[in-house]
Structure 1
Amino acid sequence: MVGEKEYERAYFAAGCFWGVKAAFREVKGVVETAVGFMGGQIADPTYEVVCTGRTGHAETVEVVFNPAAVSYASLLDVFWDIHDPTTKNRQGPDIGTQYRSAVFFLTPAQEAAALASRERLERSGRYSRPIVTGIVPAGPFYRAEEYHQRYYEKKGIGGCRIR
């Protein structure tokens, strides 16, 4: 990737990764996205294995972004806006630990930003229930099978808000 040293990565889990990816692709300054899995106990999981709910992985979106064009804090705002962070292991009709809400941080700065962002949201009164989003260290990211990448574009479905 040209200028790759200028880019940073972020990882978000907010339910089915197709909609999450579509939302982040629309953000100016995001240069690449990929869907995959993070936070589980086995290496190189497949979609079918993750769907059993027994691997501990969450459907996760990798966001590669240009911090000169979009801040990590702005990406966090998108994350909070596109899903319900008060539902444990569920987003809409999707139920299971693989659909949990999580921010996987790479650096102490990302951790601090995510914690501060969640605290602001909790204090805002926007939700009547507690926020259950995990803010946890990133582990290995396992890219999902190719048929999951750019799924909406392949199916002719426009961008969507998953909430």
Structure 2
Amino acid sequence: MTVEQDREDILKLHKDWWEANHQLVIPLMQSVYPSGDSYLMFNANGHPYFGIEEKTKLWEWYQKELDIVAFPDIEIMRLTISGDMAWIACEGVFPMRAIGDSGTGSATWEMKDTMENRLRATEIYQRDDGDGNPVWKMWHFHCSPLPDADEPRPCFGDTGRERGLGGGPGIEPLRVTSEGVRS
């Protein structure tokens, strides 16, 4: 395998993950993760989820509580590949609205305006499908809310809106869309 092929495979998983989030498409979501209980998620709701079965049950529950009204606007800040491990750091806007009484189900992840639910995430990939086959899968996902776009960053005073999603010193973000990934 080449680094270029690894990058393409990982970015496809990244795109599939965020595309699955758009309408909570469970089969597409499941295709991104290893089999069994190896997967670990730190959800934006503040709680951990262990393995694909728990993740599936969470999404079945969210299907009754949330409507992800548009494809998330995700900007990749970093993509690092080293051997059989890789990671992505990204920021984005997750456009959702409550359709059930519980919404996100968490005080940690309170919904704001439908189009201004800002988040940051780290995705950890391993070349292992959970059954020992050398196939890239996402083994860990950690997501948390971003501050408001106009909140000054302590010590520096700049804002998220000023630097743009995924922006930072020397960073040219990559954007994931339903059509793929572009810079």
TM (norm. structure 2) is: 0.26
Larger RCO (CA within 8 A; separation ≥ 6): 1
| Between structures 1 and 2, the one with greater helix share | 1
Query: Which of 1 and 2 has greater Rg?
Result: 2
TM (norm. structure 1) is: 0.28
